[in-house]
Amino acid sequence: MGVSDRGWSRTGRFGIRRGGLGRCNRGRPPMTSEFHRIASGHRIGAPMHPSRRLLLSHLIFRAPEIAPTSGIVSTPPDGDIELTWPVVADRARRLGTALRGLGVDAGDAVATLAFNDHRHLEAYLAVPCLGAAIHPVNTRWSDDEIVSVLSRTRDRVMLVDAELAGRVESLLPRCPWIDHLIGLGWSPPPFEGVTPHQHERLLAESTPMIGWPDLEETTTMALCSTSGTTGGPKTVAYTHRSTCLHTMALGLTDCMRLSGRDTLLAIVPMFHAMGWCLPYAAAMLGSRLVLPHRDLSAPRILDLVSQHAVTTAAAVPTIWNTVLAALDAEPERWDVSSLDRIVSGGAAPTASLIRGFRDRHGIEVIHSWGMTEINPVGTMSPAVTTREEADMDPDRRLDHQSVAGRPLPGLSLDLEDDDGRPVPHDGRSTGRLLVSGWWVADGYLHDHPEAGRFREDGRLETGDVSSIDDRGRMTIRDREKDLVKSGGEWISSLELDRAIGDLPGVLSAAVVARPDDTWGERPVVFVTLDPDATLDLETLRAALAPGFQTWQMPDSLHPLPAMPLTSTGKIDKKVLRAKVLAMTSSGTKPGDLA
C-alpha cells in the first residue's frame, strides 16, 4: 500500500479507494471536517477504551442477563444445591468484595484446592475480574508437589474444599507466604501466621461488587501448573485476552456445539487446565451447568445425566470407558436419551468406544486435543462439520472422529522434520507438531529446561509426532518421548495402544519401550481386561497382523489388575516404564510383572 507524504493512501487498509466513503464522496474530507476530528481521535496506538478490551468481566456475567431462569446444579457432600445464574453472579460479586477486603489486588495469585462445585465456580468468576490470578492446584498432587509449585507462584490466599481440610495442617507450615485460608464448606481453625475464614460467612458479610476494575486485556487471569516429569513444575499464565478468545471458540458450531439450550456436565476437574474453560463457556452462553464435585464414578455420572437431563459432557477416555461399560452392563438402569454428545480429551478414544456410544446409545463422541500451554483446547473432531462429511457413510466418519481433528479458528498447526523442513499435509507423512495462535502461552513463568519449546516466531513445539491430512485434520501419531526405536526404525506406541485397546475384552492398553541389546528398544504392552476376558501374546500378534509388520508388534504382554493413572486421569507411562526397567534389571519373566 503506497502512502503519500500527507499520510493518505491510494488504496485504504480495507481496499476502499482514496476518500474511503465510496462514489458519493470522491474527494478527500477537509482537515476541519467532523470525519477528520473523529478519525484523529482513534489513531493506531491510542489507548483502547475498557469497553472494547477482551476482559472476562465483559463475557462471563452474560448468563444472568440472557438466561436468568437457568443456572447451575452443584453436588458437594454437604448437599446438592441449585442456583440461578443471577444468584451465582451475586455470590461471585460478594466474593470479589471479600477478597478485596483481604487485600487481594492486581497481580496477586489466589490458590484453590477444590473440586467442581458452586463455591469453586464463584472463585473462578471473581478472582480474575479483580485483576488477580486464580491458581487451581491439582488435588491429586502430593504435598511436596504442591509446595514446589506454590513456592514459585507465592499465592497469598488459598481456598480449600472441606473434603481436603485434612491436608492443610501439613501444607501451611511449608507455605509461609499464605496469609489467608478460606474454607469452602468448613470453618478452618487458627494457624500460626494465617487468618482463617469461612466462605459463606465472608459472602454474608460482604456487599456485591458494583463494578469490576478496568484492566488491560493482557492481564494474567489464571496460573496453570503441571507437576512436570523433568525439571520441576511448569506454570503458564492465561490472560484475559487469551481466555476470552478461547472461551468464545468453545461456543462455535464446529467445536462442541455448546449453546444456552444445553445442560453441560463438567466432569473435567476445574484444577486441570481451568476445566478446559467449560465453566466460562457455560457462563457466557447461559447453559445449565452441572458440577459433580469429587465422585466421578460411572454410576454417579450416569445418575447425574439421568436426573438432570444432561445433553453434553466432557471427560478423559478412561472415564468414558467406564461409563460405556456401565451402560452396556445395565442398559435399562439409566435414561440417557437426553445425552446428545460427549467430548473426550487427554488421549485418543478408540474406534470401539466411539462406535459403542453411537450404535448402542445414540451418543456422538467428539475427540479433542489440547495442552496446558494452549489455554488448553486446540482441536475438535465432531462427526460432521462440512458438506463433504455430511455425505459420508457413518462408518467412514469414524476415521476422522478418532483423530484429533481440526484446529479451532485462531490456531494454526504446522509439521516439520528433524531438519526443520515443512512436512506435507497428506495424512501419511509425519513430523514434529508445532502450534501457534491467539491463545498459545508466551512461555513458562519460571526457568525450566523445556523453555526452548516456545520459539521466537511464536510457535510452540508440542512434543507430539503427528500427521495432517488435506482437509486439515490432525492425527497424533505419538509423543516424541513415547516412540520406540527398534533397529533404527520408529514404532508408534500410540498406534499400537489404539489397535490393542480396540480388541474385544480389552479395557485399556499401553505400549512402552524395553531396552534390548540387539535392537536398541522393543515394544512391550500392558493391558487391563474385562473380568471374563483372556488374551495371550500369540492371539494379540495375530489380531495385529493385518495392520502391523512383525517387527512392529510387541514382544511381551503383561495383564494388570488396574492401569496406573496420572493425576489428570491419563495412563501413566512413566510408571510402566519403571516396571519394565525393574523387570529388565531383575530378570523377571513377562508373566510375573503384574
Residues tagged active-site: 226, 373, 485, 490
Give start and end residues of each alpha helix (H) in 251-374.
Answer: 278-285, 298-308, 317-329, 351-361
DSSP class of 110: E
Q: Is the peptide bond before 376 cis (omega within 30 degrees of 0)?
A: yes
Phi, psi dihedrals of residue 8, rounded to the nearest 5°: -105, 140
Q: How far is CA 96 from the centre of its chain?
A: 26
Task: Identify the CA nearest to 487 among candidates 440, 523, 524.
Answer: 523
DSSP class of 256: T
Q: State the Cα–Cα distance between residues 486 and 507, nearest whole angstrom.
A: 27
The DSSP code sequence of 435-450 is EEETT-----SS--TT
The DSSP code sequence of 480-511 is GGG-EEETTEEE-HHHHHHHHHTSTTEEEEEE
Q: State the Cα–Cα distance between residues 66 and 549, nearest whole angstrom.
A: 57
467-489: b (≥16 Cβ within 10 Å) or e = bbbeeebbbbbbeeebbbebeee
Task: Identify the CA nearest to 119 among candidates 134, 133, 106.
Answer: 134
Give start and end residues of each alpha helix (H) in 224-266.
Answer: 240-250
Contact criterion met (CB below 8 Å) for 272 and 297: no
Q: Which 3 state secondary structure label does DSSP give 360?
A: helix
Q: Which run of H or of E encompasses 86?
A: helix 85-101
β-pair partners for 466: 431, 476
> Is 93 buried (19+), middle (13-18) or exposed (0-12) by CB count in 10 A?
buried
Q: Which 3 state secondary structure label does DSSP give 565?
A: strand
Q: How far is CA 457 from the centre of its chain?
A: 24
Q: Which 3 state secondary structure label does DSSP give 124?
A: helix
Q: In 10 A of CB 545, how many CB atoms?
A: 11
Q: Which three cell numbers stand for residue 25?
A: 464522496
